[in-house]
Chains A and B, each alone.
Chain A
């Protein structure tokens, strides 16, 4: 793993070996990258994982089907709601319950709000990785509005635990409609500002265009998903190919670009914010009346068998695989998290580029470290 000359930080070829992380501003968490450098040029990137491994999968084996959902919020904490949605879908598949239409709409609405919040935060963080500080604070202004909506309806800001098998935990708050309308208006005004500050800035374009390129074939073979893969032209939006919830009934486009560089990944996410807002706009006035939760038993037992569900989180495809022996707790749970596969492509994307490019590329992958380590 480590070469023998690690302690002096130079390998046999005279290349410098640098540890980026686990405490480093660019890794957004406790990711540890061992980078081999030839001057400023990156020769190899080796991610070392496990600093925030909490064995959530094993933990879930001793939790009931109602309980385990909350722990998935702690994986990809920026799209915790969508993670919970995936778990709820897998459990519902086993229980064979019909979800009320109102619950479906609420789930999708909340999921899209989460996606927007996640992308907005990512936008600020990428700009900060590239060296601009101001966008980070501007991003928090809009994110705060979404967090307030979440706080009011779900009771928490980040790890909402709003999903229960069979629906959602509470009905929508009376203020929800008003606040979402205000949010949509706010975004209409402010998305252009984002472009002024970052998207059309020459330095930003120079820093990101042609940087961290990955072809569609490589993206597929590394198992990349989500906006990072769609920037290379891989059509992989679960909301389109395997629609769940309400997604087959709403109009939205899968954003696909062919360039495969950091700027394309940036543009895909910026477009996705607009697409998500249009989904919210379509649904907000058409929330059907009815129950927000299907009647389920107090103790849930999944019939013996295997259940798989997949959802599209803000980072890519999130899969939940449950093996049930018919008991109260799952026999085995496996999560397919998007960040892990996306990170694996980092080495391929950044070889031969500069340190600054490495940071920009890593930022554009939108890594959430607890999601990678679980």
Chain B
């Protein structure tokens, strides 16, 4: 069975035998860059079609079914349309910031990809402060939204951007604290070590109640952080038409759109890594046969399966719930999520001190 790590190491060996170490690094960086962009493009297409299909089935519709087999090429066609569409910059806009914002949104989404472990021993950059890096970089996305909202010179955009600012700044806290629970249990900030610590059981199972609470809070907080319904106040199309990207069109709009989906993917991947064991297969105690079968499934499938499950949950939220109001959104964070996660972190510290976890 060919695994991603084997491919990676063979490519590395082949390059080392032909080039000097400096060139090896350069070539590998280029390969990673191309692979990341390819993954993004693919993910964008897949997630858009997935969202549309999920929405359609929940709304007793068929969804896209004309382009390609069962409409699977619909998002490709849409992307082509957006690529050839004119990207208008409004006359009153701050042109430099207006054109820069979508790229910042995209770059922050891309940066988050670095520490993710896609499969066994297959990681772009296994840095020792992975969790810290993730929390730090993910909060950068608000800058892009604020920039877009401010520079559009549109009042709807401005309102959307301001909402988004308040929202992301507050939900960072509980998302961070939820991640902290796992850091406390593992004792490491390195994502590969966190995955390794779940070899004998995922944290959501062996972390007792605190891990479960942290997981629920994490899912709610990241839904808010990625501006997805029911927390999509930055867009809120029935209130602010399209919020911060009202004035964007063509590929600049598509970049925001793509960045949203990539953000959803990365936060779900982080959720899967922290709580659901990343690429670790599902094991039950001493059932040797069962565990063996589970081991046989490639680790990348495990990783993507868990991630897409979480993505589905977030889409499920979107197509079920009404939107919150801005003050209720902040209420939820400061009066419910934050106190609970603070209490939760005390609980988990007690568990960690007395080694009650497995």
A residues whose Cβ falls under 8 Å from a Cβ of B:
9, 16, 18, 24-26, 37, 40, 127-134, 136-138, 141, 197-198, 201, 203-204, 206-207, 354-357, 359
Contacts and interface: CB of A to CB of B under 8 A. Distances in A.
B60 A130 contact: no
B326 interface: yes
Given A134-B320, A354-B325, 11 more contacts: A37-B155, A131-B236, A132-B321, A132-B322, A134-B55, A134-B59, A134-B319, A203-B322, A204-B322, A359-B238, A359-B239
Contact of A25 (B55, B58, B238, B322): B238
B325 A357 contact: yes
B322 A9 contact: no
A355 B160 CA distance: 11
A141 B60 contact: yes
Interface string B295-321: 000000000000000000000000111
B323 interface: yes
Contact of A201 (B61, B239, B322): B322
A130 B237 CA distance: 10
Nearest to B325: A356
B127 to A, nearest CB: 38
Given A134-B58, A206-B328, A201 B237 contact: no
B230 interface: yes
B157 to A, nearest CB: 11
Contact of A207 (B59, B156, B328): B328
Contact of A137 (B60, B320, B321, B328): B60
B333 interface: no
B324 interface: yes
B239 A128 contact: no
B223 to A, nearest CB: 13
Interface string B138-177: 0000000000000000011001000100000000000000
B326 A18 contact: no
Interface of B: 55, 58-61, 155-156, 159, 163, 229-230, 232, 236-241, 319-328
Contacts of B241: 24-25
13 contacts: A16-B155, A25-B237, A40-B163, A128-B238, A131-B321, A131-B324, A133-B55, A136-B59, A197-B320, A201-B321, A203-B328, A355-B239, A356-B326
A207 to B, nearest CB: 6
A55 B240 CA distance: 32
A354 B155 contact: no
A57 B229 CA distance: 44
Given A127-B322, A132-B320, A207-B322, A138 B229 contact: no
Contacts of A134: 55, 58-59, 319-320
Contact of B156 (A18, A136, A141): A18
A193 to B, nearest CB: 11
A24 B246 CA distance: 12
B236 A18 contact: no
B326 A354 contact: yes
Contacts of B236: 131, 356
Given A16-B155, A203-B324, A207-B325, A133 B230 contact: no
B60 A138 contact: yes
A137 B325 contact: no
A262 B115 CA distance: 48
B57 to A, nearest CB: 10
A355 B159 contact: yes
A355 B327 CA distance: 11
A127 B59 CA distance: 13
Contact of B229 (A9, A16, A131, A355): A131
A137 B230 CA distance: 18
B309 to A, nearest CB: 21
Contacts of A203: 230, 321-324, 328
Nearest to B155: A18
A129 B61 CA distance: 20
A132 B320 CA distance: 6
B96 to A, nearest CB: 22
A130 B159 contact: no
Most chain A CB within 10 A, of B59, B229, B238, B320, is at B238
Nearest to A35: B155
Contacts of B55: 133-134
Contacts of A136: 59
Contacts of B156: 18
Nearest to A24: B241
Nearest to B321: A203
B61 A137 contact: yes
A26 B82 CA distance: 26
Contacts of B60: 137-138, 141
A45 to B, nearest CB: 14
B322 A137 contact: no
A137 B56 CA distance: 9
Most chain B CB within 10 A, of A133, A207, A354, is at A133
Contacts of B321: 131-132, 201, 203
Contacts of A197: 320
Most chain A CB within 10 A, of B322, B323, B326, is at B322
Contact of B322 (A24, A40, A198, A354): A198
Contacts of A129: 238
B52 to A, nearest CB: 12
A209 to B, nearest CB: 11
A355 B232 CA distance: 14
Contacts of A141: 60
Contacts of B58: 134
A130 B323 contact: yes
A234 to B, nearest CB: 27
A207 B155 contact: no
B59 A137 contact: yes
A316 B323 CA distance: 28
A354 B323 CA distance: 13
Contact of A9 (B155, B239, B319, B326): B155
Contact of A40 (B319, B323, B326): B326
A134 to B, nearest CB: 5
A203 B327 CA distance: 12
Contacts of B61: 137
Contact of A133 (B159, B239, B319): B319
Nearest to B237: A25
A356 B323 contact: yes
A204 B321 CA distance: 8
